[in-house]
């Protein structure tokens, strides 16, 4: 029968380190949420902003994909298309 995967010491330490980093991020996010709530934001409002950010990122990803396909068709880099569409590299 196949043996179950046993991570070596280094992998185990790396996972423990990653878990600790995630705990720290979770704590920082909880503190940020508490700060926003103390400034008068509601959880519903924060959820709406998060939802809108996800939607924006999905639309941006689709636009990047289309620019990439257009660049391939034209035989240019995506970067070369930015001025044509009045885009900044930071967009």
Question: Do residues 28 and 59 both lie within one domain?
Answer: no
How far is it, in rounded angstroms, from Cα 85 to Cα 69?
15
Per the structure, the count of domains in the chain is 2
pLDDT digits (tens, 9 = 90+) for 29-87: 999 989 988 998 888 888 898 999 999 999 999 999 999 999 999 999 999 999 998 98
Question: Do residues 50 and 83 both lie within one domain?
Answer: yes
Query: Does any domain span residue 63?
Result: yes
- Under the banding of pLDDT at 50, 70 and 90, the label for residue 1 is very low
**Is the CB of residue 57 less than 8 Å from the CB of residue 51?**
no
Question: Do residues 25 and 59 both lie within one domain?
Answer: no
Q: Name the more confident of 25 and 2.
A: 25
CA 8, distance to chain mean position in Å, is 30
pTM of the model: 0.53
How far is it, in rounded angstroms, from Cα 11 to Cα 5?
12
Question: Do residues 58 and 37 both lie within one domain?
Answer: no
The Cα-based distances of 33 to 4, 11, 22, 26 in angstroms read 40, 33, 16, 10
Residue 6, pLDDT above cutoff 60: no
Query: Does any domain span residue 2?
Result: no
């Amino acid at each position: 029968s196949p043996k179950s995967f046993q991570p070596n010491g280094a992998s185990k330490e790396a996972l423990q380190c990653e878990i600790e980093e995630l705990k720290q991020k979770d704590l920082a996010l909880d503190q940020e949420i508490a700060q926003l709530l103390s400034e008068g934001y509601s959880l519903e409002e924060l959820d709406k902003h998060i939802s809108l950010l996800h939607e924006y990122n999905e639309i941006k990803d689709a636009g990047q994909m289309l620019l990439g396909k257009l660049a391939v068709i034209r035989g240019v880099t995506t970067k070369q298309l930015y001025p044509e569409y009045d885009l900044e590299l930071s967009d």
